[in-house]
Structure 1
Amino acid sequence: MYHPRLYGSFYEMGHKYGKLLYKKANFSIPEITTEKSNFGLKAYQELKNFYPEAIEEIEGFAAGINDKPEKLGAFLLSIPVLENTGQCSVFAYQGDNGVIVGRNYDMLFEFKKFTESSLIAPTGKYAYISQSDVFIGRSDGINEKGLSIAMAFVNGKNYVPGISFHFIIKKVLENCASTQEAIQLITTAKVASSNNFLVADKEGTLAIIESAPQKSHVIYPKKGTNYLYITNQFTSNTMKNYDAGGVAWSKSLVRYQSLAHKLAVTKNLDLAQAKAILSDKCVCLNLRKEKFGTIWSVVAKLNNLEIERAEAKPTLTNYKPETRLAWWLKRRAR
């Protein structure tokens, strides 16, 4: 797993990382089909309106690898569509120990070599720690305001040239300080594909946004409960018609039911218990035949920005503390 530290203007961050990958790994943009390229180019135009700062970062990265930003943008905006993506498990819990979040990212094992955990601190935006398997755009993260967001793929019935989840999450982390702000951003975006987003803030506001190109729906904890969880299906009656299913192979329902049971019987969840939940064989994927499973795992306490990460199949003992965000905030305060 790569561990870049990126700060400065959006163009500077992109150029620094692109130049580094070009020099160290001879990076070039992977080839994609004409269909995906056409889709990605249309989505790239949507991104210009949704988050022009991200376009600046793409332009900087493209300059760093000596290529065209439109080609890079088309690749990035086509990644989450026209093929399956991560099959993930996420939860958030508000209790006596504060707000605890946990996430397993499940993907093809071969993607381990592309994974990265980044400290990102754009000028004029919130700093954050986030994970991804693509160099621009995020799959989950926690920002300096104690806001957490993570996604889980849903096999939707429709795709449109719009904003991919990578850039939805990126913009949330860089601009939102609360769950309500994140909800407003996600539900008004022109999304490209279907996903579940689980958002939590340090004040204890938890929400699931079931998001599809057709519409979105927000779910809060039921009365008397203090937790939420997602895997890879829509659960509300409002959104079920937009879910094509086909995710039984990844044990999505088994993982969902396991999270439901474990969270229901857990009192005063702490980080150790969060690790145990994510490491459980009913939640942590290890599909050897499909060469697919959990390739990183994150737990965090949002109230004090205590973050730990396992950079492989999680166990109770292979998480390591993440200290770069604290380092950056101290540096910035000098």
Structure 2
Amino acid sequence: MQQVYSDIIQYRGKHYDFGYYQGSLLKNSFILPNRKKQWGPIKDRHFIIDHHRIKELLHHYAPGIWEELHGLADALKMNIQEAIQEFGGYYLEYGRSGCSIYTEAHYMVRNYDNAPSTYEGRYLMYQPTDVGYATIGPTMQITGRTDGMNEHGLVMGYNFINRKQSSDGFLCNMIGRIILESCRNVQEAINLLKEIPHRHTFSYVLLDIHGEKKVVEASPRAVVVQESSICTNHFQKLTNENRFRMDDSLRRYRAIEQQSVNVFNPYQAFQMFNRTEYGVFSTKYGAWAGTLHTALYLPKTKNAWFALGGNREPFMFDFDRWLQGRDTNFKRIKGVLSSSEVFVNMKYMA
């Protein structure tokens, strides 16, 4: 068993200043030294080096994030090419993972499953004053998001399908960030997902304040939209994109399907995902498939619930209150994992 935590980061201001602030925090963090140790041997093979292409795409889809990269670069004394490689969301082969999402008209609940050594332990609330919408959610690769909600009540989460036949395009975490910063509702997010280049194959699950909910199956070759309340790690329509081994994905899908008939409110949905006895929460940490966090989002009230590890009560954020300028006084969210590993923000990994 390991005690783990995520730092709560709050910021209001321009993207460049936000990037600089994050860079200042990273100077005193274990995250970058650990990532360098983990990714150094494969960096030259897997990182995209067409910096002009990435600049062009970010200017088109997310000009604020381009400024954020400059702020990170300046704070960390990097050149912009290095910052793009580290934080540009265009970087590296994605490891296998397993995630689960259940959506009703007024909430989305999601388990993010991966290896603890990939997890940054950063939970972030950011309100830009230059361009883009305010967002709340956990980070991935500093600038990206694993899931989240924006000021308009648009909620996003994604599930890994495969990395075969990858192409030139953004990773899931950056696509998720761009959705949240630039889209007001599900239809705008669908339009973006049909246009933006995808590096790997993922399901993007969307919910908005009007109760509109969709699952978007996206690969470098095709993007289709389907109706479903349940999403794990296989496609329902683009079945040729599925992996050969889908046993665990199908098992979690059936577990949600069977138990959701007894779920009548968001708290019961959170328990269905976070309690270890219900079969949705996973302890397969050594296989890149253990549940690291459970997140639940309520678009109409703009509340976000969050827990690290299993059998936990949710930490509840009033995002609407935060949008009115009232910060939370809490600095960390703590949890426990049945794993020998901790998050990369916690200690130097030998």
TM-score grouping bracket, smaller chain normalisation: 0.7 to 0.9
- Residue 215 of structure 1 deviates from its aligned partner by 0.9
**How many angstroms apart in 1 are the aligned matches of 2:121 and 2:90?**
15
C-alpha deviation, 1:147, in angstroms: 1.0
Question: Structure 1: which 5+ residue stretches go unaligned?
Answer: 222-227
Other-structure match for 1:38 = 48
Aligned partners of 1:59 and 1:197: how far apart in 2?
Answer: 28
Is this contact kept in 2: 1:151–1:165, CA < 8 A? yes
Amino acid at match of 1:301: L
* More contact order relative to length (CA 8 Å, sep ≥ 6): 2
Q: Is the 8 A contact 2:205 2:216 kept in 1?
A: yes
Equivalence for 1:279: 274
SS in 1 for 2:243: coil
Q: Judging changes above 3 Å, is the alpha-carbon distance between structure 1 residues 204 and 81 closer, same or farther for their aligned structure 2 residues? A: same
Indicate which of 245, 249, 254 corresponds to 2:251.
254
195 and 288 in structure 1: CA distance in 2 versus 1, 3 angstrom threshold: closer
1:174 to partner: Cα distance:
1.2
Match of 2:218 among 208, 211, 221: 211
From 192, 195, 198, the counterpart of 1:185: 192
Amino acid paired to 2:290: G
**1:104 match:** 111
- Residues 229-251 of structure 1 deviation map (CA, whole Å, 9 limit, x = unaligned): 21111111xx1122334454xx2
Report the more deviating stretch, 288-297 or 155-164. 288-297
**Could you tell which deviates more after superposition, 22-31 or 138-147?**
22-31
Q: Is the 8 A contact 1:154 1:194 kept in 2?
A: yes
- Offset of 1:188 from its aligned partner? 1.2
Matched to 2:12, the amino acid is Y
Counterparts of 1:41 and 1:247 in 2: how far apart (Å)? 36
Matched, 1:118 2:124: yes
* Cα distance in 2 for residues equivalent to 1:256 and 1:329: 35
SS in 2 for 1:174: helix
Instruction: Give the percent of matched residue pairs that are identical in Structure 1 and Structure 2.
Output: 22
CA offsets, 1:134-180, max 9 Å, x none? 21111100112111000011114321121111121111111212111
d(CA) in 1 for partners of 2:182 and 2:286? 41
Cα deviation code 1:35-82 (max 9, x no counterpart):
212367576344344323211111111111111221221234567752
Gaps of 5+ in 2: 1-5, 327-350
Tell me the residue number matched to 2:22.
17
Secondary structure, counterpart of 1:4 in structure 2: strand
Contact 1:192 1:213 in 2 (8 A): yes
- What is the rounded CA distance, in whole Å, between the counterparts of 1:278 and 1:116 in structure 2? 21
Q: 2:10 aligns with which of 5, 12, 29?
A: 5
Letter in 1 for 2:155: S
Give SS of 1:64's match: helix
Q: Distance in 1 between matches of 2:243 and 2:140?
A: 25
Corresponding position of 1:318: 313
Q: Residues 78 and 36 of structure 1: is their aligned pair in 2 closer, same or farther, counting only changes over 3 Å?
A: farther
Pair 130,230 (structure 1): closer, same or farther in 2 beyond 3 Å: same
Q: CA deviation at 1:26?
A: 8.4
Give the distance between the partners of 1:165 and 1:42, measured in 2 at CA: 21
Tell me if structure 2 keeps the 8 A contact 1:104–1:294: yes
What count of residue pairs does the alignment treat as equivalent?
312
Letter in 2 for 1:37: F
Q: Is the 8 A contact 1:39 1:161 kept in 2?
A: no
Q: 1:86 to 1:69 in 2, by over 3 A?
A: farther
Amino acid at match of 2:256: L
Q: Normalising by structure 2, what TM-score?
A: 0.82
**1:92 counterpart = 2:103:** yes
1:270 and 2:275 matched: no
Tell me, in whole angstroms, the C-alpha distance in 1 between the residues paired with 2:29 and 2:150.
Answer: 29
1:65-84 equivalences in 2 (<5 Å): 65-77=76-88, 81-84=92-95
